[in-house]
């Protein structure tokens, strides 16, 4: 089933790819500094957290669910890193990722055990996680060991750790969700939970898997952000919730589950990062960014919902 849908899934990545190429061409023609090595390195460093968080959101959407706690987990991870990275060193990273996984378990448990709607449960999780974050770090501050920054961001080359990590993570995700049994089970559950169960997929395992993966990836995004700004911020992740949903939908992932692929999510995440970069380089009013992203989200929804209706 999955193999037969590969061509269709790849076609859904085209809108994100077209937007990415168009934005790059427009910005390059309008700003000579766009293709400079410094700006390209800046783009890759900004892409890494956005791509990680979008991948997690896309995986949850593959299963027909949604995760509105992504932004709160990102903020929590920055607070954890700002608090623990100096005394614990690199041990703070697995601690941060483990906390992200725990957040995913809590959300999945509410959905599985108490049959709470995924949107409602993840929204409740977001509120709880934000409260914990504010208890740890009430305002922006703390300190992240500079050694982390030196490893990840000190190089001003395009082919540096941020881009290498992004490519590696998405290559692994492509294999897992394109050719593994886990991927087939998640897509199958998103398409038709009863049919997936009849074929041997465990609904509980699918729900826990996607939310734990999303939690870990959101925490990884927050860890990267904290290293980039060398501190923590209890509100820094707020914008990422809508951005990750927008990027996933633009990348061809269906809100109803069972359709899409990680490559489209990567293209869409890169397009949203490029929109921010374009506004900065062209010195446009940054308040217009939210309007632009909102319009893109609506257009993507209209495009893919019509496409699905056409298929039916």
For residue range 106-131, what is the model confidence (pLDDT) as tens digits?
999 999 999 999 999 999 999 999 99
Query: How confident is the model at residue 310, as a pLDDT?
Result: 46
DSSP character at residue 232 = B
Residue 33 CA from chain centroid, whole number? 28
The count of other CB atoms within 10 Å of the CB of residue 89 is 12
> Where do the structural domains in the chain lie, given as residue ranges?
3-16+37-311
Residue 7 binned pLDDT confidence (cut-offs 50, 70, 90): low
Q: In sequence order, which residues have a C-beta less than 8 Å from that of residue 303 and are 6 or more positions away?
A: 15
Mean pLDDT of the chain: 91
Q: What is the pLDDT of residues 43-56, one digit of tens each?
A: 999 999 999 999 99
What average pLDDT does range 280-297 have in this prediction? 83
Which residue, 164, 103, 152, 91, is CA-closest to 130? 103
First-to-last alpha carbon distance for the chain, in angstroms, is 17
CA angle 62, 299, 287 (to 5 degrees): 105
Greater confidence (294 vs 34) lies with: 34
CB 211 within 8 A of CB 69: no
pTM beyond 0.85: the answer is yes
Residue 169 CA from chain centroid, whole number? 12
Residue 5 binned pLDDT confidence (cut-offs 50, 70, 90): low
- Of 43-57, 65-79, 141-155, 194-208, minimum mean pLDDT range: 194-208
Which residue, 3, 202, 26, 245, is CA-closest to 253? 245
- Of 48-57, 142-151, 245-254, 282-291, minimum mean pLDDT range: 282-291
Distance CA 248, CA 268 (A): 7
Burial class (CB in 10 A: 0-12, 13-18, 19+), 126: buried
CATH 2.60.40 for domain 3-16+37-311: no
Burial class (CB in 10 A: 0-12, 13-18, 19+), 113: exposed
DSSP character at residue 141 = B
């Amino acid at each position: 089933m999955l193999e037969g849908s590969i061509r269709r899934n790849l076609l859904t990545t085209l809108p994100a790819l077209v937007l990415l190429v168009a934005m790059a061409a427009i910005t390059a023609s309008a700003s000579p500094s766009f293709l400079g090595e410094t700006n390209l390195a800046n783009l890759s460093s900004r892409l890494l957290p956005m791509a990680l968080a979008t991948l997690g959101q896309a995986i949850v959407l593959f299963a027909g669910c949604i995760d509105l706690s992504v932004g709160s987990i990102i903020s929590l991870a920055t607070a954890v890193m700002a608090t623990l990275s100096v005394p614990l060193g690199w041990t703070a990273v697995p601690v941060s990722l483990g906390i992200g996984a725990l957040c995913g378990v809590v959300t999945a448990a509410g959905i599985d055990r108490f049959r709470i709607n995924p949107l409602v449960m993840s929204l409740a999780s977001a509120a709880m996680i934000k409260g914990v974050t504010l208890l740890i770090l009430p305002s922006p501050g703390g300190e992240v060991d500079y050694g982390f920054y030196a490893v990840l961001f000190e190089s001003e080359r395009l082919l540096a750790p941020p881009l290498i990590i992004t490519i590696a993570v998405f290559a692994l995700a492509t294999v897992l969700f394109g050719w593994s049994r886990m991927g087939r089970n998640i897509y199958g559950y998103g398409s038709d939970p009863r049919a997936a169960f009849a074929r041997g997929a465990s609904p509980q395992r699918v729900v826990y898997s996607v939310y734990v993966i999303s939690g870990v990836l959101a925490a990884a995004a927050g860890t990267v952000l904290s290293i980039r700004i060398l501190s923590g911020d209890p509100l820094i992740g707020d914008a990422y919730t809508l951005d990750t949903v927008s990027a996933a939908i633009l990348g061809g992932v269906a809100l109803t589950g069972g359709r899409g692929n990680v490559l489209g999510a990567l293209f869409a995440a890169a397009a949203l990062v490029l929109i921010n970069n374009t506004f900065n380089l062209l010195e446009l009013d940054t308040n217009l960014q939210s309007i632009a992203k909102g319009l893109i989200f609506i257009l993507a929804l209209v495009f893919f919902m019509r496409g699905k209706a056409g298929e039916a």
